[in-house]
Amino acid sequence: MNPNTTMTNIFLSRFSYFVGAIATLGVAGAAQAAIITVPPDLNGGDQYRLVFVTDALRNASS
């Protein structure tokens, strides 16, 4: 087995994984993050509801 051929195959395999990962991240789209503000009057162990607001439509079934 030719060592150059083996190294080329390894390089092409790793390169294709890298390109695939970059393509997947690029297709995923943009996302935004914001700080979640906890209500200041909560005591330790209190519960509250967190609501996510989006501009997309989705049915509420799961």
pLDDT in tens, 15-42: 888 888 887 776 666 677 788 888 888 8
Tell me, what's the pLDDT at 17? 85
Q: What percent of the chain has pLDDT over 90?
A: 0
Type of residue at 5: T
Q: Which three-class secondary structure string do you get for 3-53? A: HHHHHHHHHHHHHHHHHHHHHHHHHHCCCCCCCCCCCCCCCCCCCCCCCCC
Q: pLDDT band for 11, please (50, 70, 90 cuts).
A: confident
Tell me, what's the pLDDT at 29? 64
